[in-house]
C-alpha cells in the first residue's frame, strides 16, 4: 500500500478535510478515493500519467488519491492555465485522461486535436466502476507525482517523484516540525507545487491532522481562520506574509486584537519557496509574536534546509540540513568548500530527491554529479552551520510571488508574436513579489497586444508586469544579451 494512504487509515472518523463544501473524515476520503480509482480504471487501463485540473479542496484530494490507487502518476494542472500551457502538458506527459472541475476551470478548452479523454468530476461519478481494484499491487515503488518546473532551457520539465521519495519528504518534515494528529492547518497555496501539495496537504493527511483548504489566498480568510484560535500551523510564501502585514495595517483595533489572540494559540508559522526579507520577518514577529521558521526547498528535492523548531531561528538564513538530507557546497572547479562564509553551489543528496525528469534522460543525468543533485543555487554557510541562499547561478530564473519562472520561456513565447523582433525578460527586485517580471521589446507591437496574446499562451504568473520598448538590446561581443545592464539601464534597479 502507499504509505501516506496507509498511515491516514489510522484516523478513520477523525476530520481530514474542511473546504467550502463541507467537512470530510479520513474514511470519507479513502472511500471516495477508492471509488474514483475504480471509475478511472474502468475508463482506461493505460498506465500513462493522469492530468487533473481541480481547485484546492476535497475533490482535488479524492482525485489525486484515486489516481495513486490506480498506480498512475498524478499531474496537477492549475485551474487558470491557458490553452497553450495545457496543450504542452498533454503532449509532454502523453496522458490519455484529464479530470477537471467544470465549475472551476477558467479556460475550458477544446482538446479535439489531442488523443485525450476529458471528463468532469461529476461525469466521473456516473461512470460504471470496475469491481476489483487490486490495491495490493500498488506500493511505495510506484511513481506518484509529476510536477512541472521551469528550468534554464526550453519548456518546463516534469519532475517525477515516487511514493518512496514522497514518503521520505513527509517523514522528514514530520520529524523536523513535529507534526501530529493534534495539528490543524489552513492551506491557501496553489496545489500544483510542492509547498501546498506536499509540505501542507500530504504532511497533514499522513499525520491525521485537520486540513482546511481554501481555493486561493485571501487575507481576510486567513485572518478569520487564525482569529478562531483553532489553527496550530500556517505555512506560506514571503509575498503572502507581506500581504498579511498590509492587511493588518488596514484593520480596526478590535479585529487586530482578535487576530493576535488567535495567533497566540498557534504553535508554528513557516515561510519558504523564496527569500524572506528580514524586514518582513521582523514586522510579522511584532504583529503575530511568531518568529517565522524559514526553510529552503526545490521541486526536485523537496525540502532540504530548515531553521529549527526548537533553538535559534536565524533571520536571513534557511538553517541546516533536514532529516534524511545531506548537503555540500562545491566551488566552480568541482572542489568541496569547507571554509565558512565562502560562496559555492549547493549540492543535495538523500531519499527525498526526485527520480527523473519525464522523458529527459540526458537532462536528468546532467543535473547530478555522482548521486548529488546540483541545485543551481549559490549559498554559503556560517561557522556554526547555518546556510544562506545568495541567489541563483542563472539570471534566467526569476522568482516572482514564489513561482519559479524561466525568462527564456517568456522570451520564446513573445518572439512568436508578429511584430516582435527581439526581446529580453528580466526579474526586478521587489519588496512584495521578490521579483517583478519585466520585458524589454524591440519591434512594432503595442503593450496591450502583447498582454492580450500572453493570456492565451502562458499562466498568469508568468506575465511581465512592466514593459519598455527600445531600438536595440545591449549585447556583448559574443552577441549575448546583457541582462544585468538591462536591469540597470532600463529599469534603474
Ligand atoms: C499577481 N500579481 C502580480 C503577480 N502575481 N504582480 C506582480 N508580480 C506577480 N508575480 C498581481 C495581479 O496582476 C493582480 O493585479 C494582483 O496581483 C492580484 O492577483 P492574484 O493572481 O489574485 O494574486 P494573488 O492571489 O494575491 O497571488 C499572490 C500569491 C500567489 C498568493 C502570492 O502568487 C501564490 O499563490 N504564490 C505561491 C506560489 C507557490 O506556491 N510557490 C511554491 C512553489 P491587479 O489587482 O492589478 O489585477 S514550490 C517551491 O518553490 C519549492 C519546492 C519550495 O521551496 O517550496
Ligand atoms: P521551485 O523549483 O519552484 O521549487 O523553486 C525552488 C527554488 O526556490 C530554489 O531553487 C531556490 O532558488 C528558491 N527558494 C526556495 N526556498 C527559498 C528560500 N527560503 N530562500 C531563498 N530561495 C528559496
pLDDT in tens, 435-455: 999 999 999 999 999 999 999
Confidence of residue 112 (pLDDT cuts 50, 70, 90): low
Q: From the CB of residue 470, how many other CB atoms can be counted at a distance below 10 Å?
A: 16
Cα 271 to ligand 1 centre (Å): 15
C-alpha 323/C-alpha 175 separation (Å) is 7
Confidence of residue 86 (pLDDT cuts 50, 70, 90): very high
Query: Comparing C-alpha atoms, which of 2, 48, 45 is closest to residue 359?
Result: 48
C-alpha 10/C-alpha 7 separation (Å) is 6
Confidence of residue 110 (pLDDT cuts 50, 70, 90): low
Checking DSSP bridges between strand 210-213 and strand 15-19, what pairing results, if any?
Answer: parallel
The finding on whether 66 has its CB within 6 A of some atom of ligand 2 is no
Query: How does DSSP classify residue 89?
Result: H
Cα 294 to ligand 1 centre (Å): 19
Which ligand sits nearest to residue 377's alpha carbon? 2
Report the pLDDT value the prediction gives residue 115, as an integer from 0 to 100. 81
Q: Give pLDDT tens digits for 360-369.
A: 999 999 999 9
Cα 163 to ligand 1 centre (Å): 29
**Which residue, judged by its Cα, is nearest atom 31 of ligand 1?**
217
Query: Comparing C-alpha atoms, which of 231, 170, 188 is closest to residue 402?
Result: 188
CA dihedral 29, 31, 32, 37 (to 10 degrees): 120
Does the pLDDT at position 108 exceed 80? Answer: no
Does the pLDDT at position 154 exceed 80? Answer: no
**Which residue, judged by its Cα, is nearest atom 10 of ligand 2?**
298
Cα 404 to ligand 2 centre (Å): 8
Residue 154 Rama label (left phi>0; alpha psi -120 to 50; beta): left
Q: For the domain 397-492, what is the CATH code? A: 3.30.300.30
For residue 261, give the H/E element and its range.
helix 253-264
Enter the C-alpha cell of residue 416. 512568436
Q: From the CB of residue 383, how many other CB atoms can be counted at a distance below 10 Å?
A: 8
CATH class of 3-138: alpha beta
| Beta-carbon contacts of residue 212 (< 8 Å; ≥ 6 apart) | 17, 18, 19, 184, 185, 186, 187, 225, 231
Domains in the chain: boundaries: 3-138, 397-492
Query: Comparing C-alpha atoms, which of 463, 476, 488 is closest to residue 411?
Result: 463
Which ligand sits nearest to residue 157's alpha carbon? 2
Cell match 503595442: residue?
Answer: 446
- SS3 state of residue 350: strand
Report the pLDDT value the prediction gives residue 134, as an integer from 0 to 100. 84
- Cβ atoms of 52 and 60 within 8 Å: the answer is yes
Report the pLDDT value the prediction gives residue 461, as an integer from 0 to 100. 96
Query: Comparing C-alpha atoms, which of 344, 489, 481, 376 is closest to residue 428?
Result: 489
Average pLDDT of the chain to the nearest whole number:
95
- Cβ atoms of 461 and 486 within 8 Å: the answer is no
Cα 319 to ligand 1 centre (Å): 25
Cα 247 to ligand 2 centre (Å): 25
C-alpha 278/C-alpha 275 separation (Å) is 9
Cα 461 to ligand 1 centre (Å): 6
Please state the length of the chain: 493
Q: From the CB of residue 177, how many other CB atoms can be counted at a distance below 10 Å?
A: 22
- Helices and strands counted in the chain (H then E): 16, 26
Query: Comparing C-alpha atoms, which of 201, 182, 195 is closest to residue 19?
Result: 201
Report the pLDDT value the prediction gives residue 45, as an integer from 0 to 100. 86
C-alpha 482/C-alpha 423 separation (Å) is 12
Enter the C-alpha cell of residue 20. 467550502
Does the pLDDT at position 137 exceed 80? Answer: yes
The finding on whether 404 has its CB within 6 A of some atom of ligand 2 is yes
Which ligand sits nearest to residue 427's alpha carbon? 1
Residue to substitute in 320, 399, 409, 462 for testing ligand 2 pocket (most ligand atoms within 8 angstroms of CB): 399
Question: What residues flank ligand 1, with Cβ below 6 Å?
Answer: 189-190, 193-196, 216-217, 237, 239-240, 272-273, 297-299, 400-404, 433, 436, 461, 465
**Which residue, judged by its Cα, is nearest atom 6 of ligand 2?**
298
CA distances from 238 to 284, 380, 442, 459 (A): 11, 21, 34, 20
The finding on whether 297 has its CB within 6 A of some atom of ligand 2 is yes
Cα 398 to ligand 2 centre (Å): 10
Report the pLDDT value the prediction gives residue 132, as an integer from 0 to 100. 81
Does the pLDDT at position 107 exceed 80? Answer: no
| Beta-carbon contacts of residue 185 (< 8 Å; ≥ 6 apart) | 200, 204, 209, 210, 211, 212, 231, 232, 233, 234, 235
Amino acid at each position: 500500500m502507499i504509505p501516506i494512504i496507509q498511515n491516514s487509515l489510522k484516523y478513520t472518523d477523525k476530520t481530514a478535510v474542511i473546504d467550502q463544501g463541507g467537512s470530510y473524515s479520513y474514511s470519507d476520503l479513502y472511500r471516495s478515493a477508492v471509488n474514483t480509482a475504480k471509475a478511472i480504471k474502468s475508463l482506461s487501463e493505460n498506465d500513462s500519467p493522469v492530468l487533473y485540473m481541480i481547485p484546492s479542496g476535497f475533490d482535488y484530494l479524492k482525485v489525486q488519491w484515486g489516481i495513486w490507487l490506480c498506480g498512475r502518476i498524478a499531474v496537477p494542472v492549475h485551474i487558470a492555465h491557458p490553452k497553450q500551457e495545457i496543450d504542452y502538458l498533454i503532449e509532454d506527459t502523453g496522458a490519455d485522461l484529464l479530470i477537471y472541475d467544470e465549475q472551476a476551470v477558467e479556460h475550458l478548452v477544446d482538446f479535439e486535436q489531442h488523443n485525450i479523454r476529458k471528463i468532469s468530476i461529476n461525469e466521473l461519478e456516473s461512470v460504471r466502476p470496475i469491481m476489483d481494484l487490486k490495491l495490493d499491487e500498488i506500493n511505495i515503488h510506484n511513481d506518484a507525482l509529476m510536477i512541472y518546473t521551469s528550468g534554464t532551457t526550453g519548456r518546463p520539465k516534469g519532475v517525477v517523484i515516487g511514493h518512496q521519495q514522497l514518503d521520505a519528504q513527509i517523514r522528514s518534515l514530520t520529524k523536523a516540525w513535529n507534526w501530529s494528529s493534534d495539528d490543524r492547518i489552513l492551506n491557501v497555496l496553489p496545489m500544483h507545487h510542492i509547498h501546498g501539495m506536499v509540505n501542507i496537504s500530504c504532511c497533514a493527511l499522513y499525520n491525521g491532522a485537520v486540513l482546511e483548504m481554501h481555493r486561493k489566498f485571501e487575507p481576510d480568510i486567513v485572518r478569520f481562520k487564525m482569529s478562531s484560535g483553532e489553527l496550530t500551523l500556517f505555512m506560506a510564501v514571503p509575498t503572502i506574509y507581506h500581504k498579511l502585514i498590509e492587511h493588518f495595517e488596514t484593520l480596526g483595533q478590535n479585529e487586530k486584537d482578535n487576530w493576535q489572540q488567535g495567533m497566540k494559540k498557534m504553535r508554528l508559522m513557516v515561510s519558504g519557496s523564496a527569500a524572506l526579507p528580514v524586514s518582513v520577518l521582523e514586522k510579522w514577529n511584532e504583529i503575530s509574536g511568531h518568529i517565522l521558521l524559514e526553510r529552503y526547498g526545490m521541486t526536485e528535492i523537496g525540502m532540504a534546509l530548515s531553521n529549527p523548531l526548537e533553538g535559534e531561528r536565524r533571520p536571513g538564513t534557511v538553517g541546516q540540513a533536514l532529516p534524511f538530507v545531506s548537503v555540500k557546497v562545491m566551488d566552480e572547479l568541482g572542489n568541496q568548500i569547507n571554509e565558512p562564509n565562502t560562496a559555492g553551489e549547493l549540492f543535495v543528496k538523500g531519499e527525498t530527491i526526485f527520480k527523473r525528469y519525464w522523458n529527459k534522460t540526458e537532462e536528468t543525468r546532467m543535473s547530478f554529479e555522482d548521486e548529488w543533485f546540483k541545485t543551481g543555487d549559490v549559498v554559503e554557510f556560517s561557522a556554526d552551520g547555518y546556510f544562506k541562499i545568495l541567489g541563483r547561478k542563472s539570471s534566467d530564473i526569476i522568482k516572482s510571488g514564489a513561482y519559479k519562472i524561466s525568462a527564456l520561456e517568456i522570451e520564446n513565447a513573445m518572439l512568436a508574436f508578429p511584430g516582435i523582433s527581439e526581446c529580453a525578460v528580466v526579474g526586478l527586485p521587489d519588496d512584495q513579489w521578490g521579483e517583478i517580471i519585466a520585458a524589454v521589446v524591440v519591434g512594432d507591437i503595442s503593450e496591450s497586444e502583447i498582454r492580450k496574446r500572453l493570456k492565451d499562451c502562458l499562466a498568469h504568473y508568468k506575465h511581465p508586469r512592466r514593459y519598455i520598448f527600445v531600438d536595440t538590446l545591449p549585447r556583448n561581443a559574443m552577441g549575448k544579451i546583457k541582462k544585468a545592464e538591462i536591469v540597470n539601464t532600463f529599469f534603474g534597479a
